[in-house]
């Protein structure tokens, strides 16, 4: 082959190879979604968004609860049924949405408008789910508060009985094992009281109960706690020691009463002295002027 032809073939080959490389480096144009398909998908997405808006509004609606009034159990059950219905609607919506989006995901990804509808739906779905969860917690805290109040108010007679039995068992060293069993039973009982009280306090954090109602619950809890501590402190003591403790208790009360009486006497004396000084000054005040008699 002639050298000139050989050089020509080499140049042509290099040019063709460079053209192939350039064609591979240029990005392929994104396929355009046809208008009919886009309109069909957009209409379906609009239906999902509209349905989610209704669920969203219901989930964001405040619970109609007054913190000053004890809610009836029937009303709390009605609110619970409503929230469960919303939760079921959310689950049903999730199933239908996931099925549809998985089938149309590629087509939706080709259009910014369709993607915007998807983002709007996802945002509303997440906010609705969060709001629904908060309202479920609020309702649960209110139910816990009502349950704690009823439970603790019903334990007053029970603790009186336990205290009487524990005291009787503490009178003899022979019944010390029975006394310890009684104290263990009381510990388990008060653990339930503490658990219910801690749950009930969440209602205050959500501002679902007034300060007055919370103080009422705290008062009932404080009474039971004091009785619990009294029972746990019980133990066998000889009769002589019990008498000494009793007399010491009386002596402590006498000292307190003596201090109170002394304080009252001093306050009374100070008031009388102040009144006498005022009378003396009025006597010296002649004609409304501070003129004092002179010799």
SS3 breakdown of the chain: % helix, strand, coil, rounded to 5? 80, 0, 15
CATH assignment, 35-140: 1.20.58
How far is the C-alpha of 147 from the C-alpha of 156, rounded, in Å?
Answer: 15
DSSP H/E element including 18: helix 3-25
Say how far residue 239 (Cα) sits from the centre of its chain. 50
Angle at 287 between CA 285 and CA 289, to 5 degrees: 55
Per-residue pLDDT of the chain (295 residues; tens, 9 = 90+): 444 444 444 434 444 444 444 444 444 444 567 889 889 999 999 999 999 999 999 999 888 877 666 777 788 888 889 999 999 999 999 999 999 999 988 988 888 999 999 999 999 999 999 999 999 999 999 999 999 999 999 998 999 999 999 888 888 888 888 989 999 999 999 999 999 999 999 998 888 888 899 999 999 999 999 999 999 998 876 655 555 554 555 554 555 556 566 667 677 777 777 777 766 666 666 555 555 444 4
Nearest to 228 by CA among 195, 177, 182, 172: 182
pTM over 0.85: no
How far is the C-alpha of 282 from the C-alpha of 269, rounded, in Å?
Answer: 20
CA-to-CA separations, 155 to 117, 158, 254, in angstroms, rounded: 57, 5, 34
In the chain, DSSP finds a helix count (H) and a strand count (E) of: 9, 0
Domains in the chain: boundaries: 35-140, 154-236, 238-279
pLDDT tens digits, one per residue of 58-83: 999 888 877 666 777 788 888 889 99
Q: What integer pLDDT is reported at residue 176 of this predicted model?
A: 85
Whole-number percent of the chain with pLDDT over 90: 46
Q: What integer pLDDT is reported at residue 280 of this predicted model?
A: 63
Nearest to 236 by CA among 172, 294, 280: 172
Q: Per the structure block, which two tokens stand in for 258?
A: 């003596």
Q: What integer pLDDT is reported at residue 117 of this predicted model?
A: 93
Q: What integer pLDDT is reported at residue 256 of this predicted model?
A: 55
Query: Residue written as tokens 């409304």?
Result: 288
How far is the C-alpha of 125 from the C-alpha of 114, rounded, in Å?
Answer: 17
Q: What integer pLDDT is reported at residue 281 of this predicted model?
A: 66
């Amino acid at each position: 082959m002639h050298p000139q032809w050989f050089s020509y073939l080499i140049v042509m080959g290099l040019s063709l190879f460079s053209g192939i490389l350039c064609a591979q480096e240029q990005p392929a144009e994104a396929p355009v979604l046809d208008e009919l398909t886009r309109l069909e998908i957009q209409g379906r997405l609009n239906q999902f968004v509209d349905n989610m808006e209704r669920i969203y509004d219901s989930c964001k609606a405040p619970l109609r609860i007054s913190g000053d009034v004890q809610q009836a159990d029937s009303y709390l059950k009605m609110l619970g049924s409503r929230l469960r219905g919303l939760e079921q609607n959310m689950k049903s919506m999730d199933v239908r949405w996931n099925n549809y989006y998985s089938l149309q995901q590629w087509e939706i990804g080709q259009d910014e408008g369709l993607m915007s509808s998807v983002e709007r739906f996802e945002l509303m779905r997440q906010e609705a789910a969060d709001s629904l969860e908060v309202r479920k917690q609020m309702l649960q805290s209110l139910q816990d508060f009502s349950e704690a109040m009823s439970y603790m108010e019903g334990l007053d007679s029970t603790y009186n009985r336990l205290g009487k039995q524990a005291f009787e068992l503490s009178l003899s060293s022979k019944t010390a094992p029975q006394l310890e069993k009684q104290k263990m039973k009381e510990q388990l009982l008060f653990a339930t009281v503490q658990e219910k009280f801690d749950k009930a306090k969440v209602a205050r954090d959500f501002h679902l109960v007034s300060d007055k109602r919370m103080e009422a619950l705290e008062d009932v809890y404080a009474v039971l706690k004091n009785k619990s501590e009294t029972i746990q402190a019980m133990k066998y003591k000889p009769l002589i020691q019990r008498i000494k403790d009793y007399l010491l208790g009386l002596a402590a009360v006498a000292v307190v009463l003596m201090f109170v009486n002394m304080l009252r006497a001093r306050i009374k004396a100070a008031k009388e002295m102040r009144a006498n000084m005022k009378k003396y000054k009025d006597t010296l005040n002649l004609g409304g002027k501070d003129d004092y008699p002179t010799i």
